[in-house]
Amino acid sequence: MSDCITFYFEDIFPDYDTFSEYVIENSQVINTANEEDVAFIGFCWNILSRHFHNQNIRYDSPQNFLASFMLVFDNKFQQFKKQKSLVDKIYNLTENEILQINSALSNVANNPNNKVVDLKKQLN
């Protein structure tokens, strides 16, 4: 049996300002001169606050949670920023670009792997 203390995410980060100040002050990867990084902190806040709003945080003190949180945040910040950028680009594809991608994928999938062909030409 353990004596466990729980905190809520909203108790540690009650609003965006508290979150952004803490993250900017303690992050090793955020470039505050880069407006894109600062704007992405807002995106992170929206996701985290909606997902973890009333979640229990089982640490013996908020400071221990914050130390662990910043390790994960710094490790994932650039990865999530790149993933969001790629997803945004996918959503901005035109219908013709999607059809071209579909044709290219179908062509690769339907080509026999045992024939040597010029890679610059598509098979019928």
Per-residue pLDDT, 1:
47
Q: What is the dihedral of CA 12, 18, 20, 23, to 10 degrees?
A: -50
Per-residue pLDDT, 102:
87
What are the pLDDT tens digits along the chain (124 aa)?
A: 456 677 888 889 999 999 999 999 999 889 888 899 899 999 999 999 999 888 888 888 889 899 999 999 999 998 999 999 999 999 999 999 999 988 888 776 666 666 666 666 665 5
Q: At what angle do helices 16-26 and 62-91 cross, to 10 degrees?
A: 100
CA distance 92 to 58: 41
Taking the model in full, what pTM does it have? Answer: 0.69
CA distance 69 to 92: 32
∠79-85-88 over CA atoms, to 5°?
140
Per-residue pLDDT, 15:
94
